[in-house]
Amino acid sequence: MTYKEIYTESIEKPAKFWKEQADAIEWYNKPEVILSEDENGYPLWYKDGELNICYLALDKHIQDGRGDQIAFIYDSPVTQNIKKYTFSEVKTEVAKLAGGMLSLGLKKGDTAVIYMPMIPQAAFAMLACARIGVTHSVVFGGFAPHELAIRIDDCKPRLIITTSSGIEIDRVIAYKPLVDEAIELASHRPKKVVVFNRKLGARVPFKKYDVDYDALVYGSEEAACVPVNTTHPLYILYTSGTTGKPKGVVRDTGGYAVALKFSMTHIYNVQQDDVFWAASDVGWVVGHSFIVYGPLINRNTSLIFEGKPIRTPDSSTFWRIIAEHKVNAMFTAPTAIRAIKKEDPDGEFIKQYDLSSLKAQFLAGERCDIATLEWYQKHIPAPAIDHWWQTESGWPMIANMMGVEQLPIKPGSVGKAVCGYNIRIFSEDGTEVEPNKEGYVVVKLPLPPGTLLDLWKDNPRFKAGYLEQFPGYYFSGDGGYKDDEDYIFITGRVDDVINVAGHRLSTAEMEEVVSSHASVAECAVIGINDSLKGQIPLALVVTKLNDEIEHYQLEQETIKLVRQQIGAVASLQNVVIVERLPKTRSGKILRKLMRSIADGESFQIPSTIDDESIVEEIDTVLKKYKIGVYNIK
């Protein structure tokens, strides 16, 4: 089938199409009702199906005689360690950990938080939860205790699974004290904390609620897979929204399993046995879908990488791993390629490795600039495929479906709509715009299987955030346009979410933290262009009347506050003091205007502006601090 044929069929006959895809996985009870609606009228897939995703990821392959195949390769340049785990080994450890969790009183329907770096035990913990119907919520290790506490209070875990430490480029990060601090900060108290001790010398304070991971696994019986209904929440994954409170995206089990199997074959074009590497983190959706569940369901070997594209130890790491483990398809964020390109502009390291196993390099998480794409194509003998999706969708929405038909690559475009996603570009009033005109990227309901079910315990926010702006359509929060050939170009977020080195962050959340500084009367945080990280935050601050704090002190204290409250990953480095912020006459801060000034883009001064002279004022201040296009930091 051509792309056009398969895509058209998925849109015109969704129930028939997804019934066929559901046959690609094994169910305890195969669904008969393919597409229906929940009590709010929101589309539901496979509502009467029963399955277990841990069974699909592990046990099934062992039953099929493939237990000796490598499931995970853990490659950790930061600890100089490479370890391989077969499907049988993973299953034994996961089943015993699940058995241990049962002995701690966990049961189907409970929630557990996982706070871990990129080590195999993070994936084992996720799979152990899935095995017994416990809904997991993985929190990215770069988030500070305060952020962890917000998530603990929202999803109320009975258990937290963590480790002694993580390793960043130049330091060991003690995780356990961060978890203890988060528990202190939170109102909800988990019953137990399971701690995997990596014995890397970090401080591991002991608390009464602690349970040793190794002792728990060693002393427990293997737990069997518990069948769950299709709509059973496999996980809650918090992502940044336009307020200070993160949104708990709820993922179902059955639709997700079908969608991931479909993605591995039809988008990523990997065959069973292939080695798949998503160089991301289990704390992000990419890690959930394409480090853990997707590759394992498809019986691929998945790489767990603990390191960075550069400085661990140098910018040859990606190429060394591809060559050494014969990676067939890889996924990373453009920022990683930009980092490598900066350190090795002529690709000298690349020439030292045999990269012939690599069939395709997938890129996502942020906009891929054409220079980066071209650099990649010049140096690497595999197509670079940009594709677009979100935490909410759980799997790609726009791509070049490599397993169907490789369409010509148009630099700057993320490809065409993926099967099941009826993507439209709307103007503010909900009418479709003409080709090549920019608008809001929306998807006609029903979204295909595997996409978000709801926001955790917050259906009103789910409706208000995604469904109400354009009735009958899901609103992605991104802007973009389609060309005459239906290629889609994403131009960026239309809200206050920013993307820093492929990490999705909320400027509203940063504003809350910056505002808490005693000298700050008012502030705005905006995302400005950065040649390495894509975007970085910039805080513009108005100090309190008669407050004479020096800029240096305010900047340092604010940076520290953001690192403490949100985490180092926020990458706030620039804080500037302004006399006032540009506002409309009704008092709304004009963030987009400030972004355009900082990025040196042409802009129109909104007619609603309170006082036009502020444009020059902001420009002068940014020049003084050498920010944005003037940024030499």
Interface with ligand AMP (CB under 6 A), residue from 132, 364, 382, 385: 364
Distance CA 599, CA 529 (A): 6
The answer to whether the beta carbons of residues 191 and 179 sit under 8 Å apart is no
Q: Is the peptide bond before 309 cis (omega within 30 degrees of 0)?
A: no
b/e sequence 191-229, b meaning 16+ C-beta within 10 Å: ebbbbbebebebebeeeebbbebeebbeebeebebbbbb
254 belongs to the binding site for ligand COA (CB under 6 A): no
DSSP per-residue string spanning 554-621: HHHHHHHHHHHHT-GGG---EEEE-S---BBTT--B-HHHHHHHHHT------TTBS-TTHHHHHHHH
Residue 186: strand, helix, or coil: coil
**In DSSP terms, which residues pair with 210 in a beta bridge?**
193
The answer to whether the beta carbons of residues 539 and 523 sit under 8 Å apart is yes
Interface with ligand AMP (CB under 6 A), residue from 477, 537, 582, 628: 477
Supply the minimum distance, in Å, between the C-beta of residue 553 and ligand AMP. Answer: 33
Supply the minimum distance, in Å, between the C-beta of residue 35 and ligand COA. Answer: 30
Count of residues of this chain found to bind ligand AMP when the rule CB under 6 A is applied: 20
Tokens of 228: 């769950």
CB-based burial of residue 351 (10 Å sphere; 0-12 exposed, 13-18 middle, 19+ buried)? exposed
Interface with ligand AMP (CB under 6 A), residue from 156, 192, 198, 504: 504
Q: Which of these segments, 54-62, 207-215, 221-229, 495-503, binds ligand COA (CB under 6 A)?
A: 495-503
Q: Which is nearer to ligand COA, 529 or 584 (CB)?
A: 529
**Helix segments in 246-327, DSSP class H:** 254-262, 285-287, 294-297, 317-325
Tokens of 627: 């920010």
566 belongs to the binding site for ligand AMP (CB under 6 A): no
Supply the minimum distance, in Å, between the C-beta of residue 529 and ligand AMP. Answer: 14
Interface with ligand AMP (CB under 6 A), residue from 111, 390, 543, 565: 390
614 binds, among ligand AMP, ligand COA, none (CB under 5 to 8 A by kind): none
Q: Which of these segments, 209-217, 386-394, 447-455, 555-563, binds ligand AMP (CB under 6 A)?
A: 386-394
Q: Which is nearer to ligand AMP, 451 or 476 (CB)?
A: 476
Interface with ligand COA (CB under 6 A), residue from 336, 355, 402, 525: 336
Supply the minimum distance, in Å, between the C-beta of residue 398 and ligand COA. Answer: 16
365 belongs to the binding site for ligand AMP (CB under 6 A): yes
Q: Which is nearer to ligand AMP, 498 or 627 (CB)?
A: 498
Q: Which residue has the tokens 């019953």?
A: 191
Q: Which is nearer to ligand AMP, 163 or 335 (CB)?
A: 335
Interface with ligand AMP (CB under 6 A), residue from 367, 379, 424, 533: 367
Comparing CA positions, the residue from 354, 316, 309, 353 lying closest to residue 335 is 309
**In DSSP terms, which residues pair with 389 in a beta bridge?**
none
Non-local (6+) Cβ contacts of 276 within 8 A are 264, 268, 270, 290, 294, 295, 298, 300, 301, 302, 303, 327, 328, 329, 330, 331
The DSSP secondary-structure symbol of 629 reads G
Which residue type occupies 202? A
146 belongs to the binding site for ligand COA (CB under 6 A): no
Q: Which of these segments, 97-105, 294-302, 383-391, 550-558, binds ligand AMP (CB under 6 A)?
A: 383-391
Q: Which is nearer to ligand COA, 328 or 335 (CB)?
A: 335
Footprint of ligand COA on 266-305 (CB under 6 A) = 279-281, 284, 286
Footprint of ligand COA on 85-144 (CB under 6 A) = 117, 141-142
Interface with ligand COA (CB under 6 A), residue from 11, 224, 568, 589: 568
Q: Which of these segments, 108-116, 308-316, 448-456, 483-491, binds ligand COA (CB under 6 A)?
A: 308-316
310 binds, among ligand AMP, ligand COA, none (CB under 5 to 8 A by kind): ligand COA
Interface with ligand AMP (CB under 6 A), residue from 47, 61, 192, 493: 493
Pairing label, strands 520-530, 534-543: antiparallel
Tokens of 568: 């180092």
Tokens of 552: 């240096």
Q: Which of these segments, 261-269, 271-279, 341-349, 471-479, binds ligand AMP (CB under 6 A)?
A: 471-479
Interface with ligand AMP (CB under 6 A), residue from 165, 239, 298, 372: 239
DSSP H or E stretch at residue 213: helix 213-218
Interface with ligand AMP (CB under 6 A), residue from 443, 490, 538, 581: 490
Q: Which of these segments, 90-98, 297-305, 445-453, 568-576, binds ligand COA (CB under 6 A)?
A: 568-576
Supply the minimum distance, in Å, between the C-beta of residue 136 and ligand COA. Answer: 17
Footprint of ligand COA on 20-59 (CB under 6 A) = none
> How long, in residues, is the chain?
633
478 belongs to the binding site for ligand AMP (CB under 6 A): yes
Q: Which is nearer to ligand AMP, 97 or 292 (CB)?
A: 292
* Backbone region of residue 406 per phi and psi (left: phi > 0; alpha: psi in -120 to 50; beta: other values): beta
Supply the minimum distance, in Å, between the C-beta of residue 297 and ligand AMP. Answer: 20
Supply the minimum distance, in Å, between the C-beta of residue 533 and ligand AMP. Answer: 13
Q: Which is nearer to ligand AMP, 298 or 332 (CB)?
A: 332
Q: State the Cα torsion 432-435-441-442 to the nearest 10°.
A: 40
CB-based burial of residue 68 (10 Å sphere; 0-12 exposed, 13-18 middle, 19+ buried)? exposed
CB-based burial of residue 381 (10 Å sphere; 0-12 exposed, 13-18 middle, 19+ buried)? exposed
* Backbone region of residue 95 per phi and psi (left: phi > 0; alpha: psi in -120 to 50; beta: other values): alpha
111 binds, among ligand AMP, ligand COA, none (CB under 5 to 8 A by kind): none
Pairing label, strands 473-482, 503-506: unpaired
Supply the minimum distance, in Å, between the C-beta of residue 442 and ligand COA. Answer: 23
Residue ranges binding ligand COA (CB under 6 A): 117, 141-142, 166, 168-169, 173, 279-281, 284, 286, 308-310, 332-333, 335-336, 339, 365, 501-503, 568-569, 571
Residue ranges binding ligand AMP (CB under 6 A): 239, 284-285, 364-367, 386-388, 390-391, 414, 476-478, 490, 493, 499, 504
